[in-house]
Each structure stands twice: as structure tokens, then as C-alpha cells.
A and B are shown apart, each in its own frame.
Chain A
């Protein structure tokens, strides 16, 4: 990993879910610049990764809004403040103090220095849902992979795909013409995927190009700890089977994991960071936690509460980033965001 020269800003926001996105706006309204880091490749947190097509009914003044549209609106609202996004990167370390400033370092080697840190990490960073198999980590990256970067990497390999959703079905069909063999392990005969793709997979199974291994679940890995030779699977009736394999592709969706956050001295209890509800400050002065990650008496895990927490924390951050400066507050009606939003540009000109 190459470490880039440090970037400097007022506040680093960890997590680009709905709450992190709104924090950009709230900080921006106070004249504070933000850098935002998220493990995912696109902003939106749970709303974008888990339920973009679902309507939300409890956002004030939006009787019904699709989660994906809510995120698009939050991005548009943040845009005038020129936030710098560092996506596809996980914040791994958080160093420093409120007096000397903070430094965060990401998995991609990005180093950002800031006066304050806002943690809007939700239930943790999103990553693949990893099967709890003995010795798994020794195979991960080369023999156990969670996504297909290049189809060519699978040419003439014996591939076992595990899972029953769209990605399992899509990749089974796509890899059937390059791989030496493709087996699909799923706990039941029914696949929850686009019907036309399921039909194509079934046709390939009938012609012997795909081996449908149902109703089975993953049970173990067979190999020398480096190279994989087989995948062990277990039938619902308890009996076992071994599938010849060079590569296992477990496709069980995303899971949230606190990961590095747990070691930042924040006092994590049951996956949440305790804060002072008046300031949203954590046990570590200068580090604030907002949104789903936060806990205080009476906390509700609702987007609207996260929005309010973002506003309150922004005012605290101002004091750290602009020491000695008085916070002259004006409502957004008297001080609209300086740069017109793209959707308003026609009206403004």
C-alpha cells in the first residue's frame, strides 16, 4: 500500500450513509469543509446497499420517498459544499486529539488530517457475508473470492458458487462457458433471482454444464491452506459430499461489521458508540458519532434522528475547527447554500 501525502480539511466524516451525507450539508452551512470516506463504491449506506427501491414513509414532508431517491436528494443537497469523497476505502486508523488535530488513514493509503471527526458508520462497514468455515482466511483472495473481477481468471478452473440470489445465478451462467466446471450450492431448490436467468441456468444444468447442488449448505474447505482442492457440502438430512474445486465464490450478500472502529478507544457497547446526547461527542474528545452507530438513552435508529444529530454535531465541530470564532447562525432561508444546486440552475440564471 502506498501512502499518499496527507490531505487537510475541517472534518472527516466516516460513512456516506444518509446521516453522513446530511452532515456534509450541516457542516457546509457553517462554512466547514468535509472529506467523506466509505467502504462502498457509492454513497447511501443501508438505503443504497440494502433497499434502494423501497419507499420510506417517515421522512418529514416526504409522505413517500424511495430510499434511492432520498440518497440522490441528499447528494444534491451536499454538492454545493464540494465535499471530497473517498469511496471504496475503509478508515482503518484514527489518531490524534482534539488539541493537536486528528489523522485518519484508509485502506487505500489516503491520509486525511482534520480538526474533528464525525463517525456516521451505521452498523459498521459493508463487506461480503463470509461463510464461517475453518481455515477460511488462508484461502481468501485467491481461492475463495467474493466477486468476479475478470471472467478470464476462472478459465479452465473448477468453480463452486454458493448462494441462491441474483449474483449466484448470473455468475453461474456467465462462468459456465469459461470454467472447467461450475457447481452451484444452495440450501433449497428455489432460487430468488430473475426468472429468465434461472431458466438459463436450469437449461445449462440439464445439458450438464452446471451442477446444481441442492439442498446443500457449505460445510468446509479441503486443501493445503493455500491451494484449494475441494469444497465440502452438507445435505439438509445431514449427509455430506465433496465437490472438486479450485475456486469457491460465496455469494451471500453484504454484512455490516464494525471492523477497525472497535479499536479506536471509543467505548463500544453491543456494536454502538456511547455519546453525550447534548453534543454527540464520544468518550474521545473531538470525535463525534451520529446516526445508527450512536447510542444514548432514548436513541431511535431512525434517519430523521440521525439528521438532527448531524446538525447538533456540526455546531460542536465548528468550535474545534474555528477556535475563538463566534458562530454567527442564520437560518438556511436567510443564507442559502452559495452554489446553486444543479436542479435549480435553470431558475437561477
Chain B
């Protein structure tokens, strides 16, 4: 099963089993992380902002225009900010590392 590494807002890092076909949002939420995912991945809430490890940024599927539009409503964005409901886990993302934003 692909692994997902997550660093929370206190700096604590954990590695999770991430089921293929589930989004990073679903994976984090079901593991108890404070990722709300209010709109269940329909790009209408932006309550699933994560910061992708720069080493991984280019290996993710390209960001859609709709995701860019929704990112416009997020504060304190970084160069590798993503809405993680749009990142679907699979073998090609085994080892993906993300961190949670403080705001």
C-alpha cells in the first residue's frame, strides 16, 4: 500500500498507509488529522489546504484551473500549496510528503 508522510502543525511527522484511489484529504481525515474537507472534494470549500514537500511538487498531476480558482480563496499560500482532495493516492505517489498549514 502506498505511504503518505504528514507533518502536523506542531512539527510532528507520521507515515500513514494510504489506500489507492482515495484522496489525500480522505486519508488524512480518516486518520484523525484536522482536514475538514467540507465539500467532499468538489472544489467548493478549500478546507483541505496542504503544503506539498517541494521534492514532490513536480511529480503530482498538474493543478487544474478550478483548483487554482479555489486556491485564490486560501490565505498564507506557499509555492507548493495544494487542495489535497485533488490528489488521489496510488503507487506513483508512494512516499508523498505533505504538511498541514498553521492557518
Contact = CB atoms under 8 A, between A and B. Distances in A.
B68 A218 contact: no
B64 interface: no
Residue of B38, B77, B79, B103 contacting most chain A CB atoms (<10 Å): B38
Given A132-B103, A271-B36, A192 B73 contact: no
A131 interface: yes
Interface in A180-222: 186-188, 190, 192, 217-218
Contacts of B77: 187, 217
A217 B44 contact: no
Contacts of A271: 36
Majority secondary structure of chain A interface residues (helix, strand, loop or mixed): loop
Interface in A17-47: 46
Nearest to A215: B77
B62 interface: no
A70 to B, nearest CB: 15
Contacts of B39: 46, 50
Nearest to A122: B38
A71 B88 CA distance: 32
A78 to B, nearest CB: 25
Classify chain B's interface size: 10 to 19
A264 interface: no
B76 interface: yes
B72 A132 contact: no
B72 A186 contact: yes
Interface in A243-261: 252-253, 256
Contacts of A217: 75-77
B75 A163 contact: no
B17 interface: no
Contacts of A46: 39, 44
Interface string B76-89: 11010000000000
A319 to B, nearest CB: 33
Contacts of B45: 50, 123, 256
B40 interface: yes
Contact of A163 (B38, B68, B72, B103): B72
Nearest to A132: B103
Nearest to B44: A50
Interface in B35-55: 36, 38-40, 42, 44-45
A131 B75 CA distance: 6
Contacts of A51: 42, 44
A301 interface: yes
A306 interface: no
A322 B73 CA distance: 47
11 contacts: A50-B39, A123-B38, A129-B73, A132-B103, A165-B72, A165-B73, A217-B75, A217-B76, A218-B75, A236-B79, A253-B73
Closest 3 CB pairs of A and B: A132-B103, A164-B72, A252-B73
